[in-house]
């Protein structure tokens, strides 16, 4: 057992660290910004917990990994990239007013990171604890997936610091999610002189939109939602190219297979039109069974705590799919993820920090009991 100097959870200190992270803007895919953000995360980890935080370089930006030593027992998982472009901070600066902290990324998910770190700082023993803060969760976790899966399997339990569900509930299940792109090739012609000589990519796109929208099965949790379309060049030209982006959410592996097969089977409606489909349901569903054991522990610590299945995906989808017990939504209580009204409830920060600490302590004790057997 390695002992550390422990501290009390102080909301003012958490807000100080939260301000630092929010004011270090970190849009996904901006490597310079993400490098600065990763260094800020690492500095907070080292300052509050001791030890060394390692920057793991990747094509998507640096991930941050910290380990408390000893045999791995629990992985605390988060991300430091946000959906907000550089300059958002100038328009929407960090602030605290009326019991809410606001600013880009406070709820998704910088507040959760800060709470976890300050919760861990209250523990005498931090052995067996690992923290992984990735740089690409908002854009699919392509560069971090192998690393987070490796550490999840090594640790055997995962606590995900994404923001809480409505009312502060933990997230006990998540839909699988993915993005598909339908690319359509037609043929241009003059819309007035020779409209019939062209192959209208816009008409083909419209037909494809109707086809894929019909794949939705909301009664069983499957949504197929066309979200972005790009087509046309000039108002007097039959469009030769079009693209359609489609968001997909599913609750079961069977629906994942059905949807992927349906997209692969899409065929053009217009003679001479060609279509190409890319994409997949890249995040597998997170079944509620994956969180049951850890939720029970959390409810021993906070009896009024509820769990909810939600539609959005997180890196917890990947760890749960491996069979690793995973509990999500342990981060900030608040709302407005990805929106201008994003906020964090300040009065809930200390309780959530202590909840993370209590869960970690329970998992450490479980690991120690297993070692004695």
User: What pLDDT sits at residue 160?
Assistant: 98
Average pLDDT of the residues in 244-265: 96
Run of H or E residues at 357: helix 349-372
Question: Nearest to residue 275, comparing CAs of 197, 208, 203?
Answer: 208
Question: Nearest to residue 359, comparing CAs of 309, 301, 313?
Answer: 301
The SS3 of residue 206 is helix
Return the residue matching tokens 């108002």.
Answer: 235
User: What pLDDT sits at residue 368?
Assistant: 72
In tens, the pLDDT along 309-340 reads 998 899 999 999 999 999 999 999 999 999 99
Question: Nearest to residue 353, comparing CAs of 113, 4, 80, 46?
Answer: 113
The encoded tokens of residue 147 equal: 């690393």
In tens, the pLDDT along 71-90 reads 999 999 999 999 999 999 99
Distance CA 167, CA 32 (A): 36
The pLDDT of residue 367 is above 80: no
Sign of the four-CA dihedral 215, 218, 219, 220: positive
The pLDDT of residue 373 is above 60: no
User: What pLDDT sits at residue 364?
Assistant: 94
The β-bridge partners of 309 are: 173
- The larger pLDDT score, comparing residue 5 to residue 94, is at 94
The pLDDT of residue 186 is above 90: yes
Confidence of residue 6 (pLDDT cuts 50, 70, 90): low
Return the residue matching tokens 């993915």.
Answer: 178
The encoded tokens of residue 59 equal: 């094509």
Question: Nearest to residue 138, comparing CAs of 292, 229, 33, 263?
Answer: 33
Q: Report whether 288 contacts 131 (CB < 8 A).
A: no
- The larger pLDDT score, comparing residue 5 to residue 241, is at 241
Q: Report whether 268 contacts 253 (CB < 8 A).
A: no
Distance CA 359, CA 331 (A): 13
Mean pLDDT for the chain overall: 96
> Percentage of residues in the chain with pLDDT exceeding 90?
95
Confidence of residue 213 (pLDDT cuts 50, 70, 90): very high
């Amino acid at each position: 057992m390695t002992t550390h100097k422990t501290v009390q959870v102080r909301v003012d200190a958490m807000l100080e660290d939260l301000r630092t992270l929010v004011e270090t803007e970190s849009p996904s895919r901006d490597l310079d910004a993400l490098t600065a953000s990763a260094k800020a995360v690492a500095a907070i980890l080292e300052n509050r917990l001791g030890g060394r935080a390692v920057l793991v370089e990747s094509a998507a930006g640096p991930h941050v990994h910290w380990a408390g030593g000893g045999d791995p027992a629990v992985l605390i998982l988060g991300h430091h990239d946000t959906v907000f472009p550089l300059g958002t901070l100038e328009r929407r600066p960090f602030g605290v007013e009326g019991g809410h902290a606001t600013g880009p990324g406070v709820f998704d998910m910088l507040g959760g990171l800060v709470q976890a770190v300050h919760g861990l700082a209250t523990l005498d023993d931090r052995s067996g604890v690992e923290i992984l803060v990735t740089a690409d969760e908002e854009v699919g976790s392509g560069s971090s997936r192998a690393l987070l899966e490796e550490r999840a399997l090594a640790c055997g339990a995962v606590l995900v610091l994404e923001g809480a569900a409505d009312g502060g509930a933990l997230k006990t299940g998540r839909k699988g999610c993915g993005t598909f792109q339908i690319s359509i090739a037609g043929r241009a012609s003059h819309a007035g002189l020779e409209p019939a000589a062209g192959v209208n990519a816009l008409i083909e796109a419209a037909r494809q939109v109707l086809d894929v929208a019909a794949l939705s099965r909301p009664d069983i949790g499957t949504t197929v939602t066309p979200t972005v379309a790009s087509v046309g060049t000039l108002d007097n030209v039959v469009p030769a190219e079009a693209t359609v982006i489609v968001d997909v959410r599913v609750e079961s592996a069977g629906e994942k297979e059905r949807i992927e097969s349906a997209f692969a089977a899409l065929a053009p409606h217009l003679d001479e039109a060609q279509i190409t489909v890319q994409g997949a349901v890249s995040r597998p569903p997170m079944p509620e069974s994956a969180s049951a054991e850890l939720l029970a522990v959390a409810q021993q610590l906070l009896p009024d705590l509820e769990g909810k299945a939600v539609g959005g995906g997180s890196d917890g989808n990947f760890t749960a799919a491996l069979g690793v017990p995973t509990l999500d939504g342990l981060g900030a209580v608040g709302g407005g993820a990805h929106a201008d009204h994003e906020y964090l409830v300040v009065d809930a920060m200390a309780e959530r920090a202590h909840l993370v600490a209590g869960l970690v302590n329970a998992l450490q004790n479980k690991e120690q009991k297993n070692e004695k057997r």
